[in-house]
Amino acid sequence: MNESEFVAHEPCNNCGSSDANSVYSDGHKFCFVCQTYTPAEGDTPTHRMNTNERVQFLGSAEQLHKRRISEKTNTFYRIYRYGNTLRFPYFDEHGQVVGFKVKTKSKDFHYEGQSTDTLFGQHLFPTSGKRIVITEGELDAASCYEVMSGWPMVSLPHGATSAKKDLQKQIPFLQGYQEIVLFFDNDDAGRQAVESASGILPAGRVKIARLDNYKDASDALQAGDNESIRRAIWDAKPYTPDGIVEGKDLLELVTQPTKDYDHLYPFEGLNKMVQGIRYGELTTLTAGTGSGKSSLVRALAVDLLKKGEKVGYLALEESNKRSALGLMSNANGKAYHIGEHNTDELTDAFNNTIANWHLYLFDGFGSFDPDVIYNRIEYLASGLECRIIFLDHLSILLSGLDGDERRMIDTTMTRLRSLVERTGITLFLVSHLRRSSSDNHSHEEGGRVSLGQLRGSHSISQISDSVIALERDQQSQDANNVTTIRVLKNRYSGQTGVATRLTYDLSSCQFYETTKDPEPEFDATVDF
């Protein structure tokens, strides 16, 4: 018989398990939860569950020379060789044998008798003690016992994919042990099994044993490295869920020199307050409708592009043509998006700007599937190595979702934050404001912006590292009326307030810092 190899996990149509059905290289499949065998095309079953046949011990305990497992250990577990097979007995909670898992030299399995929820070897050990070791497979348990005889060594009955389900059924038994050592395989399936199973076991008692140089305990024993098995068990580390880090482990992290900033803003006043732009931060830009958010985004993007930065630019409410013309306008100081311009002029403008930049845009105007946009941001960051990404704007992203707006914003901000943390990018996010409750101080008329006015959810302010607001009176008679840049949140230094004031030149599409104060607010005591 040709030896087949494991290829992948897939759902089982028989029992409904999401990943217990194992697919092998010769085309056959076997579910380790319900023991359903699906033969390859033109093949006959070699995995089976014979629930009606009388179970009996066959063969004898012999030394497994290749495995380096002694006759003594096999006698203890009653692992018998019978012809070209190994037979592993399984017992019920009363200590009665109910079935056998039978393994061939080609690593095919079949079952005789009844399947059981008990762990392999469980009947041999007391219901309480200092430490119990749980491995993925029967031979791993026997290998551990060979090295550390007398200690409880058991294994999962159905492999890594069913670890959580199988261990959950044995919690009453496992609660009697002070330490529960999970000694699973050093592969993806084993690591996933550790994560899934650890969370349901008694808190504070779970430890994880790992082998750096071997797949499992059986491999280590075959290599004659008994000490690595002992060391893995004795040095097993307490299970720590993902996200929990002991403070003592932070020395290297906190002692690594860090820069105050990775880039400076093109405005001195803003730099003084927020100390520049840093990778790994999420900055939200907000303002009332028509207050210049997109224009400021273009100015920031152009400044970074001129510095040689790779920039991702997702403007969800405008075409790439409009975005490109806007960026060219800011860079060249001429409004190419207004009026008519001949082809030669636009070509020269393009060659002087975009042709020299590392700029990547999202060609998805009118298509706002959030999952697609997350995926594209991930690709910009990981695939194209963009360190700065602009997303304009949040409300358009939400338009592809159904449900409560506040909840949608919570979910979206959490996903964006996770993306920033995972990739280390700087994300500039444009967000709208709620309508002002005061007619005299609307955002479109220069009303002061506060964090509480961010549209839809407090999570925008909570999750963002910085929140920068624009305040401008659109009804001002001054053609270059002043825009106040107010920092509402500044996680880096904590400093907030008015950072700077800008004027905007419509003809050049550029911002300039100014000391000019905005028009004073209406005061009834004076103006009447």
| pLDDT tens profile 32-80 | 555 566 766 655 443 344 443 457 899 999 999 999 999 999 999 999 9
**3-class secondary structure for 378-441?**
HHHHHHCCCCEEEEECHHHHHCCCCCCHHHHHHHHHHHHHHHHHHHCCEEEEEEEECCCCCCCC
Which ranges of 41-98 would DSSP assign to H, the alpha helix? 71-77
3-state secondary structure of 240: coil
Q: How far apart are the first and last CA of the chain?
A: 101
| Degrees, nearest 5: CA angle 68-74-75 | 140
Give me the half-sphere count of Cα atoms (radius 13 Å) on the Cβ side of residue 488: 23
Q: Directed axis angle between helix 293-306 and helix 320-332, to 10°?
A: 70
Give the per-residue pLDDT at 388.
Answer: 97
Q: Is 227 left (phi over 0), alpha (psi -120 to 50) or beta?
A: alpha
Q: Highest mean pLDDT: which of 5-19, 213-227, 230-244, 453-467?
A: 213-227
Region of poorest pLDDT, from 19-23, 113-117, 402-406, 509-513: 19-23
Q: What is the pLDDT of residues 338-373, one digit of tens each?
A: 888 999 999 999 999 999 999 999 987 655 678 888
Task: Kindly tell me the burial class for residue 523, based on how many C-beta atoms sit within 10 Å of its own C-beta (0-12, 13-18, 19 or more).
Answer: exposed
Look up tokens 């749980």; give the residue.
134
3-state secondary structure of 369: coil
Give the per-residue pLDDT at 15.
Answer: 54
> Which H or E run includes 113?
strand 109-113
Q: Note whether 362 and 319 are within 8 A (CB).
A: no
**3-class secondary structure for 130-189?**
EEEEEECCHHHHHHHHHHCCCCCEEECCCCHHHHHHHHHHCHHHHCCEEEEEEECCCCHH
Give the per-residue pLDDT at 527.
Answer: 42
Ordered domains of the chain (ranges, CATH): 48-238 (3.40.1360.10), 276-527 (3.40.50.300)
- The rounded Cα 116 to chain-centroid distance in angstroms is 36
Cα gap 376→361, rounded to integer Å: 10
Give the per-residue pLDDT at 343.
Answer: 94
Region of poorest pLDDT, from 112-116, 432-436, 445-449, 468-472: 432-436
Give the per-residue pLDDT at 520.
Answer: 52
Which ranges of 7-159 would DSSP assign to H, the alpha helix? 71-77, 138-147
Q: What is the pLDDT of residues 303-347, one digit of tens each?
A: 999 999 999 999 988 899 999 999 999 999 999 988 889 999 999
Tokens of 58: 């066959």
Nearest to 102 by CA among 79, 120, 72, 118: 79
Nearest to 397 by CA among 371, 361, 417: 371
Mean pLDDT of the chain: 85
Give the per-residue pLDDT at 127.
Answer: 92
What is the b/e burial string over 478-502, where b = at least 16 CB atoms within 10 angstroms of the residue's CB? eeebbbbbbbbbbebeeebeebbbb
Give the per-residue pLDDT at 36.
Answer: 61
Q: What are phi and psi of 518, to 5 degrees?
A: -70, 165
C-alpha to C-alpha distances, 209 to 132, 137, 234, 255, nearest whole angstrom: 12, 15, 8, 29
Give the per-residue pLDDT at 407.
Answer: 82
Alpha-carbon torsion (93, 94, 99, 102), positive or negative: positive
Look up tokens 């009332």; give the residue.
288
Q: Is 7 left (phi over 0), alpha (psi -120 to 50) or beta?
A: alpha
Q: What is the pLDDT of residues 389-414, one digit of tens each?
A: 999 878 777 765 666 777 888 888 89
pLDDT: is 418 or 365 the higher one?
418
Cα gap 301→311, rounded to integer Å: 7
What distance separates the 2 farthest-apart alpha carbons in the chain? 108
Cα gap 256→279, rounded to integer Å: 15
3-state secondary structure of 26: coil
C-alpha to C-alpha distances, 443 to 228, 378, 471, nearest whole angstrom: 68, 34, 7
Number of CB atoms found within 10 A of residue 236's CB: 20
Nearest to 108 by CA among 135, 134, 86, 91: 86
Q: Note whether 420 and 280 are within 8 A (CB).
A: yes
Look up tokens 């959580």; give the residue.
164
Alpha-carbon torsion (232, 236, 240, 246), positive or negative: negative
- Residue 526 above 50 pLDDT? no
Mean pLDDT of 151-173: 93
Cα gap 109→211, rounded to integer Å: 26
- Residue 435 above 70 pLDDT? no
> Which H or E run includes 302?
helix 293-306
Q: What is the pLDDT of residues 450-508, one digit of tens each?
A: 888 887 668 888 999 999 999 988 777 665 578 999 999 999 999 999 999 999 988 89
Give the per-residue pLDDT at 423.
Answer: 93
pLDDT: is 381 or 3 the higher one?
381
Q: Highest mean pLDDT: which of 60-69, 435-444, 512-521?
A: 60-69
Give the per-residue pLDDT at 226.
Answer: 96
Q: What is the pLDDT of residues 182-193, one digit of tens each?
A: 999 999 899 999
Q: Directed axis angle between helix 370-378 and helix 405-423, to 10°?
A: 10
